[in-house]
Each structure stands twice: as C-alpha cells, then as structure tokens.
C-alpha cells in the first residue's frame, strides 16, 4: 500500500472514492440524488486546478496498482478562493447557486473528505491515511489539521479523538450540526508521540 499525491488522470477513481464520503453534501449542491451526476461533477473538478476538489489537494492510497482511497486536504485560509470555481462549475452544470456555510478557516489545513472503496473498507485504510495526514501536516509541516464530523456519527468521532484530534467547536454545514475537531502539534512536544 502506497500513499501519494494524486495525478490528474486518476480523477475518475478519485471521484468514486470522494463521492462515498460526501454523497449527501454533493446531492445538496446539485439539487438532486443522482450518483452519476454527482460523480460527473466531482470528476470535472478533480481534473481541474485551483479548487477545493482538485487533484492538487488530493492524496490517494494505491494498492495493487489501483486507487482504493482518496483524501482531500487544503489550506483553510484558501477556502473562498478554492470554492469560487466549484460554485461556477455547479452553476454551469446544474444552474444552481452554491449556498453553503464555511466549513473551515485560516489557521488549519482542512480534511475535506476521505473516501475508501467499499471493497477495501474495514481493513484499516482510513486509519492509515489519517495517520499519514497527521504525520505529513502536523509533524512534518507543523500545521494544524481540522475536520468536521456529523453529530449523528459518534463512531467516526471516537476514531478521530483516539487519533489525537480534539473538539474545538461546532459548525453548521448544509444545515447539519457538526463538531469541529483539530489536531494541533504541541509547541513543547517536538517529537512525534
């Protein structure tokens, strides 16, 4: 298993993984429950640069020459700039305005989504990619990682807390109450635990 930066030509595989993590949110964005159209939107955005869902902001897990998971991570300070092309694409494809709350902000690298292929779930891939992202962003780059977890998903929240994330507040995203969690490197703890 290899975790690496995504490539533009892997957009279809990435879109399928990311869709699994944000199905309800994408349906909200496009105004219909069409898996095909939702993946088409994600695929088009992943192929492009300078947007939230771009391959530039994506890490993939490769196993046996196949993408089995993907994670989108970007600088929270860039949210408005990265969201603008997404709003434009949604307007162009679905004639809908993107009207959603800010899920992140300056001061954190935001884990937007992590999706693991259904046939690979339950094998610890999600935990491995989270640990990779913690190592990469917190310990290597000395950045804070942030994410949101739905109040109705206590199992995911338990995992994040076990990994070292802490609840720092609450946010609303597409009308749902979410806990805002962060993993912050302690200033006096230079070494990885």
Q: pLDDT tens, 122-172?
A: 888 999 999 999 999 999 999 999 999 998 889 889 999 999 999 999 999
For residue 64, the 8-state DSSP code is T
pTM: 0.92
Q: Which of 84, 94, 116 lies closest to 34 in space, CA to CA?
A: 94
Give the tens place of pLDDT for each residue, 7-39.
999 999 999 999 999 999 999 999 999 999 999
Q: Which residues, in sequence order, are CB contacts of 5 under 8 Å at separation 6+?
A: 58, 59, 60
Asked if residue 6 lies in contact with residue 58, where contact means CB atoms within 8 angstroms, the answer is yes
3-state helix, strand, coil in the chain (%, to 5): 45, 25, 30
CATH of span 2-183: 3.40.630.30
Give the tens place of pLDDT for each residue, 72-88.
999 999 999 999 999 99
Q: What is the pLDDT of residue 175?
A: 86
Which neighbouring-strand residues pair with 146? 110, 182
Strand ranges (E), 76-175? 109-116, 145-150, 166-173
Asked if residue 192 lies in contact with residue 164, where contact means CB atoms within 8 angstroms, the answer is no
């Amino acid at each position: 298993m290899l975790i690496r930066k995504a490539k533009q030509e892997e957009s279809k595989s990435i879109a399928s993984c990311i869709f699994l993590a944000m199905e309800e949110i994408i349906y909200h964005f496009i105004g219909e429950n069409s898996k095909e159209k939702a993946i088409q939107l994600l695929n088009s955005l992943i192929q492009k640069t300078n947007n939230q869902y771009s391959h530039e902001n994506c890490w993939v897990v490769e196993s046996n020459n196949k993408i089995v998971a993907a994670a989108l991570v970007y600088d929270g300070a860039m949210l408005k700039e990265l969201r603008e092309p997404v709003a434009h694409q949604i307007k162009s494809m679905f004639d809908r305005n993107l009207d959603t709350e800010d899920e992140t902000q300056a001061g954190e690298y935001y884990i937007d989504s992590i999706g693991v292929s259904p046939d690979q779930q339950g094998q610890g891939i999600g935990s491995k990619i989270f640990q990779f992202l913690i190592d990469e962003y917190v310990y290597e780059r000395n950045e804070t990682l942030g994410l949101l977890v739905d109040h109705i998903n206590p199992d995911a929240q338990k995992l994040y807390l076990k990994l070292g994330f802490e609840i720092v507040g609450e946010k609303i995203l597409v009308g749902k109450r979410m806990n805002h969690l962060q993993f912050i490197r302690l200033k006096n703890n230079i070494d990885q635990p």
